[in-house]
Structures are given as structure tokens and as C-alpha cells.
Structure 1
Amino acid sequence: MVKLIIDDREVEVPEHTTILDAAASAGIKIPTLCFLRDVNEVGACRVCVVEVEGIDQLVAACNNYVLDGMIVHTNSRRARIARKTNVEFLLSQHSSECTSCVRSGNCSLQSLANDLGITHLPYAKHLEGFHSDTAFPLIRDNDKCIKCLRCIQVCENVQATGVWALTSRASHTSVNVAGGRALAETDCALCGQCITHCPTGALRERDDSDRVFDAIEDPEKICLVQIAPAVRTAWGESLGLAREDATVKRLASALRQMGFDYVFDTNFSADLTIMEEGSELLERVRRAGEPGGEPIRFPMFTSCCPGWIRYAKSHYPDMLDQISTSKSPQQMFGAVAKTYYAEALGVDPSMIFSVSVMPCLAKKAEAALPTMVGETGEPDVDVVLTVREIDRMIRAAHIDPCTLEESELDQPLGAGTGAAVIFGATGGVMDAALRSAYFLATGENPDPDAFSGVRGLDGWKEKTFDLAGVPLRVAVAHGLGNAHKLIEALRAGEVSYDFVEIMACPGGCVGGGGQPIHDGCELAGERGDVLWGLDAAAPLRFSHENPSVQTLYADYLGEPLSERAEELLHTDHAAWEMGK
């Protein structure tokens, strides 16, 4: 243990504790800007500088360790002046048009400038003037970049993608796309982690809310919306709703008040995905066991996460044939809505305007793929909104969700099981798939918690389960850095699996790049617990028991992997190219 004095308070902490953490243990909050625990601890912004007696220069609290007998002043005159001056320098290279910034009111730089009493700037403005293509789902505005390096560190060290890099030197230093390419031409997985970890508005998603408002007001359009499982864990965070009050049924009421004609649950198509993907896995296992049959490469990878699909296409294109051909729940829903449901309504599919609310940026790109269209060439999903976008739309429509009663989702595409709702948490797809794969293989339901070993926030989990007398080796990885490690171990022959779930975002969709931003807080675990709790309380916990899915197969699809199911619910991952 180390004893020191911080702002006249005696503090005792373990050695190798940073000054920042030592101060926090005593209830003293030192402001930070670039700091991101375990990701970005480089002291680039110099906002956390403190004065240490016996040391001439100020030191960064975020990456300097305490010493026995140290005397620290976190708010001395020298520290205050330096901190304020450093922020003023940052503001001199920052577009301060806060009223038109997507992060206004939720910007660490804005808050810090207010806290420091900065009411005018003593330095001339110097802005880069660089803005990336606003048609791409991910947009960069370098006039709002403070060069904190967070996006670089997250993309390189957490997501193993390396899209961003520092360019030029000294006062001309800038953060831009590595190699000077256009962002749309890179290997960007569109996981959106750079957005959720950016302290300002330098990174944001393309806003598609006006397209949705226009469609709602179009009398010729039937507007329907689907709500992804992970959305119900977070949509109320920026709207003043307690987590237990921010239910999917209350969101349904808000969306109806906004003007949507039908509100559905993506849980329906998550259950549908399990039926197709589970059947596909069993079919691959069967074909692999046939004597003299064609060689089948294992493991089979899940296909629910479009960020993972983009990563696989750019980093491991030779493994595309190992990824399930099943579409994601979003796209299955879109295909069913514009065929089966359009027929049920007795309308032409072109009259349906299909919207999805997702915790994800990659879903925007997925919906625009040339392979995700119907017979007429129209997209199965017209617009994808992030949780941040739908929250802004709720505020723009002057809806106070705190005053709304809950309402049921529409049927038949609004029914879901506990197995579907856990799709939003890492391990959830695997857990749900194994439940139904066991049933499909044996004709009996397992204990719904029999596969709980795949749950949890470990970056890479592996288990072996008995499936009708056949050992099934499975693995789960979340975060593309962990996916990279898993795949490299597969290639090296160090591990061997039959079935692998990969989610691009840490924690799964609950930690998605389209979720509400809480700077410095990682809420994937807390949000994931909501989904596991909903599963445990669900009256139905097996995808194959979803009555709406059973009806869809009986009346329209026939059975999993049927010709019509293949046409509507499956895709060819090799039929499109990155950067096109």
C-alpha cells in the first residue's frame, strides 16, 4: 500500500494505482477528456494535469502512478490555468456550433468547457474543413475532432480493424482514414464503436429520420416498424425512463403515437432465424457424416451480425462458405413483411414502408445490399434507425414516453420467445440455437438453461455439449479483436469447433454502436442482464414453440430450408463486395 496526500486528504491505495484512481478513491474527481480505461491511457489531452510537490512540470493523472509520501494538488492555480488553457487550445481547432451538433448536451468537451468557465476564446479558429461522405452510414467531421486518439485505439486494439490513423505532424496532426482512402473503401465493419467512444461529435451515424417522417406522412404508404431485442434495454436511457419502465410495449405506444401503422418485434424473426440456422447446422453435420459425401468445412459461423459479416469478407474471405446462409433477423423480417404479411393485408408490397430500430450501424449497410431485395428490386427493409435516432424522433414528435401506457405489439409478426430476446446479448444466439437444435435432433426440449455455459462477458468462450449422442463443440466471441484471436487459433489448428457465434460489438448488440452514449461507461453487461431476465420470465423459451413462426411455416414456407424458405430467408454472402 502507498500513502499520499491529495488536496489535503490522506489517501492510502495499492501501489501501481494512478493518481486519477487514487483521487477518485477519496471522492476527488479529476476531469479527463481523452482517457478511456484499458483502451486509451496516453494522456494526450492534458486535461487531467495535476501539480505534484517536488516536480517542476505538471503531470497527467491518468497515466502516472502514485508514490509513497507524494503530495498532490488537483486544483492548484497552476493546474487550473493549464487545464483551462489546454481546453481553449482544443476549442480553437474545434467547430463549436453546438446547436447543430448531434452530441449537444452529451458532449464531454462541451461539459468540460462549461465547468471551466470558458465563455470566450482568446485564440483564432483553425478548422480542417474535412467531412467524410454523408451517404455512408458512418460520418466523420474532423472540425469536431480533438485528436484524443480514442477512435484509433478502439478500432485497432479492441476491434482489430485499424481503420483510423494519425496523419501529418505537429500542428497539422489529424486523425483520418489509414492510407488516405475514402471511408467507404476501407475494411470498416461499421461496428460503430468509434462513435460510442468518441467524446465529441466528430463521429456519428447517418441520420435517416427525415425519410421515416416523410413516409409516415405519405397517405400511400403503410408504415411498419420492427424493434430489435437489444433496443428494449437502452431506448429509455436518454429519455428519462428507468430501465424497468422502458419496456418494449411502452416503446410500441410511442411509435404508434408517432404515426406508425404497425409495430412489430424482431423477436419474431429471431425465432425464425433459429429455425433456419439450427436446421442448417444439423444439415451440415448430417452431410459431413455421409460416407463419400462432399467435404464440409467446420465450424459453421452464425450470420446474425452484419458487422461480423463485413469483417469476415474483408479479413477472411476464404471462410465465407462457413458462415450460415441464413439472413439476419432484421432481413428475414423485412422479407416476410413484404411477402407473407403484404398478402395477409391484401396490398402490393410497394405500399409497405418497412423500418427497423436497431442498436447498430452495420444494419444500415446491410439493408442496402443488392442481395436484400424482393422480386421487384425494392429493399426488404427501407430504413434502419439506430436507438439514438429513434430517441431523437420521439423528442422531435413531442412525445413524453413517461406518460404513455404500455400497448401490445401487433400480430402475427409481434410474437417472440425468451430464446429470441437473448439475441441481443453475447452468447444469446448460441444459447437459443442449441435449445432448438437439441429439439430438432431429439424431438424433445432440453432444460432451457442447459446451455448457460455460453453466457457471460468473457471475450472468448468455448464449451462441448451432447447433442443426441454427438458431441458438439461450440465457441462464442464478442468484439472483433476476440474474433480475430479465435479465427487465428482455428487456422493454426490450436482449436476445433463445430459451431461458432460471433458478435462484432463488445457484449453483443447491447453494446452496439447505435446505442445511447454514456462517455466512459460500458453498459453492455447491465443491458445484457435485462435480456437474460426477460428470457427467464418468458412463458415460451424455445424458438420452435413460437406459434406465429409455426403458422408461417404451416401456411407459407412449408418447413425450414424449403425452397421458399431458401428464397426468402437465405442469402449469398459472396454476391456483394465491400466498398461497392
Structure 2
Amino acid sequence: MVTITIDGTSFEACENATILEVAREHRIEIPTLCYLRDINEIGACRVCLVEVEGIDHLVAACNNKVADGMVIHTDTPRVRRARAANLQLILSRHDRRCPTCFRNGTCQLQALADRMNVHEVPYTTFFETKPIDARFPLVREPEKCVNCLRCVSTCQKVQALGVWDLVDSGSRAHVDAIAEDECAYCGQCIANCPTGALHERDDTDKVFAAINDPEKIVIAQVAPAVRASWAEYLDLNGKRATTGRMVAAIRRLGFDYVFDTDFAADVTIMEEGSELIEHLKEGVEGPMFTSCCPGWVRFVKTRYPKLAKKLSSTKSPQQIFGALAKTYYAQLLGIDPARIYVVSYMPCVAKKMEAAYPGMDSTGTGPDVDAVLTVRELTRQLRSRFVNVDLLDEEEFDTPLGIATGAGHIFGVTGGVMEAALRSAYYLVTGTNPDADAFREIRYEGPERGWREREFDLDGKTLRIAVASGLKNADDLCRAIERGEASYDFVEIMACPGGCVGGGGQPIIEGFNLSADRGCTLRIIDEESPLRFSHENPAVQACYQDFLGAPLSEKAEHLLHSNHADWSMPYRVTADGAPA
């Protein structure tokens, strides 16, 4: 420990701590823009400058460690002038048409300029512009980039992709994609961008056009992780942010039906659980990997093509729902499937691209899922329609595709797919249900490094499983498997840290990682659910009895499974979304 003085007050601090860390620990506010703890501590923005006695120049608080006897001043005229000048220089290279920016109101640069009372920019304004390529779900607007390098560090350190980097030098230095074909579209760069330089492609107008078409029957499906975050931008009391009120809000947008993707998650478990049992019976060498996460699927296809052959052929719940909506549900309604327009609300950016992959049009009526919107896009829709969510009464999902179990709800959190699959796999093997919490040891408990592995008894057979989230962890795990350093029967991987609750399409709350809180919400919903096993979902049972026949049946294989060999990385599309 060392003793330091900040603004006239003495504190004890760990000698390895930075000035910023110690200041924040004692609630002394120092502004930052580029800083991400343990990820991006490079002092690039120079907004966190402080004055240290005995040092002639100002120092960045984020990457300078404290020393015994250090005397620090965070609010001197010199500090204020330097911070303001640096912020003005950043603003001079930034497109300041804030009212039309997706991040208007949530932009950290905008908030910082207002907080620091910087309302004029005395420098010549110039920035690079580039047309938006709507073929891809992840959009970069260079005119809004402030070269904070958050995206670079996140992509390299958290996701092990290295898509972004700083190119050129001097005044020409700027962030750009150097490995665009390897992008997983996980959206973690979006989640950590302080401005609107990175965002998802906006598909809200496309959805409203479908809703306004009298010939279309427009269906919304809502992913499990959405119910844990949908109200974070809406200034809604936590007790009012219920699933029922979310359903009512989405219905007010004009949808004909609002369904729960968790129903399709339960179907996914029936197929994937049955697939796992066949995998074990046949004694196939190597693990079977879950395939619900399109970011992970893109990653493994690029980095570990041999392991990609071990992916489950079961489609993601999003795609299973789309296929059943345009076949099974169209049959129940007695209508032409071509009239049905399926919209997905997802916490994910990669889902936008997944809907365009080959094999995701199994109904013969075009894409099984017509449009995918993120949670942020849902917020923009509700605001644009002036929906006062706080005044809405709770409403139920429509049936039968809105009936779900607790197992389906936990798909949105790391370990949830694995736990749900094991609950039903145990039943399919033994004919009896395990305790619903028998596999709780694999649950996500917060941001982790590495992966979690466990062994469970499955009717006398030892089942070796592993769970990982975040592509850096996935990369380490895959490397260990390829080298023979680790061996498993079943592996779940999600691209985003914490799973879908930490997805790249979730609301961005600066300075807070809410994935653990959101995951806890889903766990509570599971625990309070009257049904906690996918195979006990009466709507799923009816779907198999009346339409699919049985898991892995010929019809189920056609509608609910895909051949991962149908497409490879890099996968490109044309302007109208067709494969390039």
C-alpha cells in the first residue's frame, strides 16, 4: 500500500492501482472517453488528464500508476483547459449531426461535451465519410469515429478476432477493418463504442412497411434475453418492466400475433437433445457443439473448420420458429404461408445475417425469418410510435407458439442451453425427470476467463461437458480440443460474454456490465415457471403429435435442421440480401 493525496485529501491505495482507479474508488470523478477497464487503458483520448506535483506535463489518469507520496490535482485551470482543448479536437473530426444519430441521447461524446460545458469547436471541422453498405448487419460510419480504439481492444482481447485496427499514421491515422471476412457480427464492438460510429443496420422501416401491408400477417417472436433488458432505455420502474407489459407494448406496434421464441427453444432441445443421444450411441469421436449462436458458428467455420463439422445440425430457435410459423402455424390458421411475415426481436446482431443463410428458407415461401431487430431497434420503434409503456396492462403471448418452459427461458444465459438440453436428454434416456436443478453447476455466475467443465452421470455413462462464452474463451477451448489437451462429449459456446444477455444488440449502458443481472432475471423466471422441462411443454407435444411426428423425423430434419456445409466463410450477400 502507498499513501497519496488527491485534491487535498490523503488516501491509502494499492501500489499497482492507477490514478483513475483510486479516484473512482473514492468517488472522485475524472472524465474518460476511451477507457475500458482491463481492456482499453491506453490514454488515447487525453480527456482524463490530471496534474501531479513534481511532473511538468499533465498525465493520463487511466494508465499511470500511483506512487507513495504522490500529490494529484484533478481540477485545476490547467487541467480544465487541456481537457476542453482535447475534447474540442476530437469534436473537430466528428460528425456532429447528433439529432439524426442512432446514439443520440446515449452517446458518451455527446454527454461528455455537455458535462464539460464544451459547446463551441474553434478548430476546422473535417472528417472522412463513407457510404453505408446495407448488405451487412454491422455498420461503421467513419465520420463518427473518435479513434478511441475501444473496438480494436474489445475485438482483440475479448473476442480474439482482430477485425479492427488503427491504420496509417499521424493525422491520417484511423480505425478500419483489416480482417472483415473474419467478423463474427457478435456486435461487441458496437456495445463498447462510445459514439454512433458502429451500430447495427436499421431494419425498423422495413418492418413497419410489412405491418402496414394489409395482405401480410405479421408475426413477432421475442427471444428469451429480450425480456431481461427491453425496458432499460424506457425509464420504466423495474417492477413495471414485466414480460406481460413487453408483450403489450410490442402488440401496440401493430403486429397480428406476438409469440415467444422460447417455444422454439423447447423444440430446439427436443431436436438437439435427441441428436446428442444419437451422437453418444454411435460413439462419434469428439464433442458435439451447440449451434444456436450464429456468431460462434461464423467463428468456428473461419478458425476451426475441422471442429465445424461437429456442430449440431439443429437450427437456432429463431430459425426453428420461422420454419414452424410458415408451416405448422399457417396450417392451423388455414392461410397461405406466403402471407406470413416473421419478425424476430433478438439481443443479437449476427441473427440478422443468420436469417439470410442458405437452408434458412425451408418453407418454400422465401426466408423463414423475414426481418431481425435488436433490442435497441425495439426501443426506437416504441419511442417513434409514442407508446406509453407505463400505462399498459400486462398481456399474454399468443398461443400455441407462445407457450414455453423454464428450460426455454434460460437459453439467453451462458450454460442455459446446456442445462436445458441435459434436463431433457436425461429424460429421453431414462424415462424419468432429473431434479430440475441437477445441472446447476454449469450456470453462469458472472464474467469468466477460460471455460467451465463438468462431468455428469447419464444413466451410468459419464458425460463430459464444457461451457464457454466470449470468443477469446472459445478460441482457447477449441485450441485445447484440437491439440488433444481437452476432451468432451457436449460443448456449448456463445459468442458474447455471458451469452445473449450480453449480446451486441442489447441496450448500451456506459460503465455497467448488466449481463449477470439480466442472466439472474432469466434464472428467476425459470425457477418460477410451472414447467421446467422442454419435453413437458404441451404446445411442443401437440406440434410433434399433429405435425412433426417425432424428433429427428423426416419432416423435422427438413424444417428444423441445416447442413452447415451449404455455406462457408467468408459469406457475402448482394444488395438485396441474396448470397453473393
Q: TM-score range by the shorter chain?
A: over 0.9
Aligned AA for 1:42?
I
- Matching residue's letter, 2:452: K
Q: Deviations over 1:457-484 (max 9, x none)?
A: 3341000000000000000000000000
**C-alpha displacement of 1:5:** 1.2
**1:354 matched residue in structure 2:** 342
Match for residue 566 of structure 1 among 539, 557, 564: 557
* Contact 1:234-1:243 at 8 Å conserved across structures: no
1:148 is aligned to 2:140 = no
Matches within 5 A, 1:489-568: 489-568=480-559
Q: Which amino acid in the other structure matches residue 443 of structure 2?
A: R
| Offset of residue 357 of structure 1 | 0.2
Q: Which residue of 2 aligns with 1:436?
A: 424
Q: Tell me if 1:160 matches 2:160.
A: yes
User: What is the SS of the residue equivalent to 2:282?
Assistant: helix
Q: Which range moves more in the overlay, 266-275 or 18-27?
A: 18-27
**Aligned 8 A contact 2:427 2:434 in 1:** yes
Residue 407 of structure 2 aligns to a residue whose secondary structure is helix
The count of aligned residue pairs is 568
Distance (whole Å) between structure 1 residues aligned to residue 63 and residue 483 of structure 2: 36
Q: Separation in 1 of the partners of 2:187 and 2:306?
A: 25
C-alpha distance in 2 between matches for 1:227 and 1:353: 14
Structure 1 unaligned residues grouped into runs of 5+: 289-295
In structure 2, C-alpha distance between the alignment counterparts of 1:177 and 1:303, rounded to whole Å = 26
8 A contact 1:320–1:574 mirrored in 2: no
Q: Which residue of 2 aligns with 1:331?
A: 319
Q: Identity across aligned pairs (percent)?
A: 56
- The separation in 2 between residues aligned to 1:369 and 1:406, in whole angstroms, is 36
Residue 297 of structure 1 corresponds to 285
Q: 2:571 aligns with which of 559, 563, 579?
A: 579
Instruction: Determine the C-alpha separation between the residues in 2 that align with 1:497 and 1:132.
Output: 43
Give me the whole-angstrom Cα distance separating, in 2, the residues matched to 1:376 and 1:447.
41
Q: Deviations over 1:431-458 (max 9, x none)?
A: 1000000000000000111101111233
Deviation, structure 1 residue 130:
2.8
Q: Deviations over 1:60-87 (max 9, x none)?
A: 1011111121111101111101100000
- Give me the TM-score of the superposition, normalised by structure 1: 0.97
Q: Which letter does structure 2 place at the counterpart of 1:47?
A: V
Look up the match of 2:105: 105
* Aligned residue in 2 for 1:272: 267
- Please tell me the residue identity of whatever aligns with 2:513: E
- Tell me the SS of whatever aligns to 1:232: helix
The alpha-carbon deviation at position 12 of structure 1 amounts to 1.7
Q: Is the counterpart of residue 28 in structure 1 residue 28 in structure 2?
A: yes
Equivalents in 1 of 2:51, 2:104: separation in Å? Answer: 32
Gap regions ≥5 residues in structure 2: 573-580
What CA distance in whole angstroms lies between the structure 2 residues aligned with 1:474 and 1:542? Answer: 19
1:376 positional shift: 2.4
Give the structure 1 partner of residue 174 of structure 2: 174
1:231 corresponds, among 202, 210, 226, to 226
- Tell me which residue corresponds to 1:292: none
Q: Show the 5 A alignment for 1:354-433.
A: 354-433=342-421
RMSD: 1.0
* Mapped partners of 1:396, 1:71: distance in 2: 50
CA distance in 2, matches of 1:520, 1:579: 34
Provide the rounded CA distance (Å) in 2 between the counterparts of 1:244 and 1:233: 12
C-alpha distance in structure 2 between counterparts of 1:377 and 1:574, whole Å: 22
Where 1:322 maps in the other structure, the secondary structure is coil
Q: Is the 8 A contact 1:413 1:548 kept in 2?
A: yes
CA distance in 1, matches of 2:513, 2:367: 34
Q: What corresponds to 1:221 in structure 2?
A: 216
Runs of 4+ in 1 over 3 A off after TM superposition: none
Structure 2: distance between partners of 1:330 and 1:244 = 28
Equivalent position SS for 2:480: helix
Contact preservation (8 Å) 2:327, 2:363 = no
Query: C-alpha deviations, 1:327-349, integer Å up to 9, x for none?
Result: 00000000000000001111111
**Matches of 1:297 and 1:477, distance apart in 2:** 20
Contact kept, 8 Å, 2:322 with 2:369, in 1: the verdict is: yes
> What is the alpha-carbon distance in structure 2 between the residues aligned to residue 514 and residue 161 of structure 1?
18
Pick closer, same or farther for the CA change 1:346–1:429 going to 2, 3 Å: same
For the pair 1:480 / 2:471, whether they are aligned, the reply is yes
**Which amino acid in structure 1 is aligned with residue 474 of structure 2?**
A
